[in-house]
Amino acid sequence: MLHLKNVSYQVSDRFTVGLINLSILKGDHVAIIGESGCGKTTLLKVIYGLMDIDNGSIFWKDRKVTGPEDNLIPGMPYIKYLSQDFDLMPFTSVAENINKYLSRLEPETSKARTDELMQVVNMTAYENAKVKTLSGGQKQRVALAQTLAKEPELLLLDEPFSHIDNFRKNKLRRQLFAYLKEKNITCLVATHDSTDVLSYMDKTIVMKDGKIIAQDLTNNLYKNPTSYYVGSLFGDINELPKQWFFKDAKTNETILLYPHQIIIASQGKKVTIENSYFIGSTYLITAKANNKVILFFHNTPLKVNADYNINVILQY
C-alpha cells in the first residue's frame, strides 16, 4: 500500500502542494487529473522521492519514502517514474536501451525479457533502430519499456501517451494496463486524457491549486461529479438550472449533465440551435437558452436558429 499522511511541499512563495492524505492499495491503477499547474507532476515527484517534503510522511508498504537529503541518488529503488522527458541513449538501439537495465549474467533471460517489453509497447519492428532516428512517440514507447524493465513495485507515469499517435495509443493503452494488472504493479498516472481515466483506472484523484478536492472509484466520480470542474475533466459537461427539467427544484439549484444525458423531446426546455459538429458516430449540438450554452448529442445535424425542446435522461 502507498500511504501519504499530511504531506506538503512548497514549490514557490505562491504555490504549495498539500496537505495531501492518500492511500492506494497494491495493484490498483489510479489517475491523477486536474488543470495544468494544479500539482499533478509535483505530487508524482514527491512520491518518487525527488524532493524533500516540508511536512508529513510517505510510505510504500512499511518502507519510508525519503528525498535527496537521505539519498545520494534521488528516487526510491522500488518505485519508477516516467517523466515527460525521456532519458534514452540516442546512439544505441531500441533493444540496447531496454536491455541495459537487465542482468548481463543471464543473457538469454534478458533477451526474452527485452523481446516481451518491446511487444508490450509495439516496438518489436524497431529493435535494431538507433534511438536518435525515432519519432517523439516512438521514443516515448522505448522510455516506457525501459521503465518497465526496472521491475517497479510502484509505477508513476506522467502523461505517458502525450507524444503517441491516436491510432497506436488505444492499442498501447490496452496492452500496457493489461500487462501491469497481470504483474500486479501499482500504477499512478497523471493525465489530461479522459480515455486514460475512464477505461483503465480503478480510482481517480482530482487536484486543484495543489490540493486533492475529490477522490473516488472512477465510475462513481464520473457518474456523480462533485462540481462542474470535476465533471469537465472527463469531457464536455453542462451546468444548468435544475428547474428547467424538475419543477420542484429550488430556484438556485443546478444540475450537471453530460451531452449524452440531454435529448430532443416533445416537452421540456425550449432552446435555439447554434451549430452542429460532426464527431464521428454522432453530432455535437450547441444550443442556447437564457444566455446559457447547452451541449448535447444528436444523430443528425439540426437546423441553425431552429427551436427545439430538450429534456434529460439520467441513465449512464
pLDDT at 225: 95
The residue ranges of every structural domain in the chain are 2-232, 238-312
CATH code for the structural domain at 238-312? 2.40.50.140
62-71, 82-91, 211-220: segment of lowest average pLDDT: 82-91
pLDDT at 170: 86
If you average pLDDT over residues 7-21, what whole number do you get? Answer: 91
Which whole-number Å values give the CA distances from 144 to 2, 81, 153, 162, in the listed order? 22, 10, 15, 12
pTM of the shown model: 0.88
pLDDT at 316: 57
Residues near 106 by Cβ (< 8 Å), separated by ≥ 6? none
Is the pLDDT score of 169 beyond 80?
yes
Within its chain, how far is the Cα of 215 from the centroid? Answer: 13
Q: Report residue 203 as a C-alpha cell.
A: 480510482
Confidence of residue 85 (pLDDT cuts 50, 70, 90): low
Percentage of the chain lying above the pLDDT 70 cut: 97
If you average pLDDT over residues 184-209, what whole number do you get? Answer: 92
pLDDT at 105: 65
If you average pLDDT over residues 111-127, what whole number do you get? Answer: 89
Confidence of residue 162 (pLDDT cuts 50, 70, 90): confident
Judge if the upstream peptide bond of residue 19 is cis by omega within 30 degrees of 0: yes
Report H helices in 82-149: 94-99, 107-120, 136-149
CATH for the 2-232 domain, from 3.40.50.300, 3.90.180.10, 3.30.470.10, 2.60.40.420: 3.40.50.300
Residue in the block written with cell 543471464: 106
**Cα angle at 308 between 303 and 310, to 5 degrees?**
130
Within its chain, how far is the Cα of 153 from the centroid? Answer: 19
If you average pLDDT over residues 181-209, what whole number do you get? Answer: 92
pLDDT at 54: 93
If you average pLDDT over residues 144-152, what whole number do you get? Answer: 85
Judge if 2-232 and 238-312 fold alike in CATH terms. Answer: no
Confidence of residue 103 (pLDDT cuts 50, 70, 90): low
Stretch (H or E) spanning 107: helix 107-120
Is the pLDDT score of 10 beyond 60?
yes
pLDDT at 260: 95
pLDDT in tens, 259-311: 999 999 999 999 999 999 999 999 999 999 999 999 999 999 999 999 999 99
User: Is the model more confident about 164 or about 225?
Assistant: 225
21-35, 66-80, 245-259: segment of lowest average pLDDT: 66-80
Q: Report residue 233 as a C-alpha cell.
A: 475533466
pLDDT at 282: 95
- Exposure string (b/e) for 131-159, b if CB count within 10 Å is 16 or more? beebeebbbbbbbbbbbbbeebbbbbbbb
Is the pLDDT score of 195 beyond 90?
no
Stretch (H or E) spanning 172: helix 166-182
